[in-house]
Amino acid sequence: MAGQVERAEGGAAPRLRPPRDICRKARWSGAVVAAVLAGAAGAQDGRVSTYEQMAPELRAMQDDDFSNPGLLWAQTGEELWAEPSGADEVACAECHGAAEEMAGVAAHYPDWDEESGQAVDLAARINLCRQRHQGAEPLERGSEALLALTTLVALQSRGQPIAPSEAPQMEAVRGQGEALYSTRMGQLNLACATCHDDLAGGRLLAAEIPQAHPTGYPQYRLEWQEMGDLDRRLRNCMVGVRAEPFAAGSQEFVALEAYLKARAVGMEMEAPAIRP
C-alpha cells in the first residue's frame, strides 16, 4: 500500500525508509522494499488491517502527521516524557533517553511482568514504571495523560511488525484470550469470533465488519472524536452485544489483547491509527 511508503518517509520510522535510489527508480519498488522491511503480512494470508477497508480520505488523514489528530496526543506525550514526575521527581527521559529509544517496544506488548506475576499491557507497564521508578501514582486508565504517553511509545513502533512477547507465561495468557474471544456473551449471545472471524467483510447495518487486528492502538476514532485504547473499543463491542463489559485494564482485556496480537503477528503497527 502506498501509505506504508509515505509513513516510512514521514520520518517517524527512519530505519524503514528504503534506499533513495530504489525510491527514485520506481515508486512501487520502494513500496515492496518497505513492506518487506516491515515484515508486512496481509495480502498473502488474507489478513488485512481495517486501514485497507477505509475510505481514501481517512487513510490520507492517518498517513499525514499534520492531519492525524493522534500526533497531538503524541506531542502531549513528549511533554510528559520530559517532565519530572512523582515523589522522586524523575522524568521518563532520564532513564529511557529520547522517546525514540522505545522503538519496537509496543510491538511486543502485552508482556509478562515478573515482579507482579501477571501480564500487562503497554499502559499498565507505563503505570508500573511510574509507581516503581518515579514514586508517582498510576494514571487513570483511559485518561488523557496515559493515552498521551501510550501513544508516544506506540508511535515509536509505527511500521514495525507485531512481534508477540516470547515470555513463556504469555502462552497461557493467550489461551485465556482465545477462550474469551470464542465465548458467546450478552443478551445477544454473540462471541467476538462470531463476527470477526466468521463474518468479517460482511455488513452489520452500514458498518463493514473488520477482522479485528489491533494494529493501531491507541487510535483516534471519528465516532469518539478523541483517542482511545483497545479496552475502550472492546467495551464498545461488549455493550453492543449487551454484555457486562470487563473492567478497564482487567486481566481479561490483557488476555484478549495478547490473543489478538498473536493473531496479528507480523502485521504492521500503525498507531496512532484513524478509524471511522
Partner 1 sequence: MLAAALAAAPALGQGLEEPLTAVPGDPVAGAAIVGEPTRGLCLLCHAGPFPDVPFQGTLAPPLDGVGARLSVPELRLRIVDSRQVNSASIMPPYHSLVGLTRVGERWQGDTILSAQEVEDVVAFLATLTDPPIPEETE
The C-alpha atoms of residue 77 and residue 90 are separated, in whole angstroms, by 15
One of 93, 193, 237, 265 is an active-site residue; which one? 237
Under the binding rule (CB under 8 A), the answer on residue 199 touching partner 1 is: yes
223: contact with partner 1 by CB under 8 A: no
Residue 213 marked ligand-binding: no
CA dist list (Å): 29 to 2, 18, 38 = 11, 9, 14
222 binds partner 1 (CB under 8 A): no
- Which candidate, 141, 165, 135, places its Cα nearest to that of 262? 165
Residue with Cβ nearer partner 1 (101 or 198) = 198
Residue 199: C-alpha distances to residues 12, 194, 237 (Å): 35, 7, 15
**72 vs 193, which CB is nearer to partner 1?**
193
Nearest residue (CB) to partner 1, 107 versus 190: 190
Q: Which is nearer to partner 1, 90 or 191 (CB)?
A: 191
Amino acid at 173: V
**DSSP sequence for 151-189:** HHHHHTTTTSBP-----TTHHHHHHHHHHHHT--BTTTT
Q: Quick check: 55 binds partner 1 (CB under 8 A)? A: no
- Whether 237 is a known active-site residue: answer yes
Closest approach, Cβ 195 to partner 1, in A, equals: 8
Please report whether residue 245 would count as binding partner 1 according to CB under 8 A: yes
Question: Contact letters (x/-) for partner 1, 144-183, by CB under 8 A?
Answer: ---------------------------------------x
Segment near partner 1 (CB under 8 A); pick from 18-26, 31-39, 193-201, 215-223: 193-201
> Per residue in 167-194, is it b (16+ CB within 10 Å) or e — as a string?
eeebeebbebbbebbeeebbeeebbbbb
23 in a known ligand binding site? no
64: which strand partners? none
Cell 486501514 locates to 51
Look at residues 227, 228, 252, 7 and name the one whose alpha carbon lies nearest to residue 110. Answer: 252
Confirm or reject binding of residue 243 to partner 1 (CB under 8 A).
yes
C-alpha to C-alpha distance for 142 and 134, rounded to whole angstroms: 20
Point out the residues that are catalytic. 237
Residues belonging to the binding site are 92, 95-96, 129, 192, 195-196, 233, 237
User: Which residues contact partner 1 (rule: CB under 8 A)?
Assistant: 183-190, 194-195, 198-199, 202-206, 209, 238-239, 242-245
Residues belonging to the binding site for substrate are 233
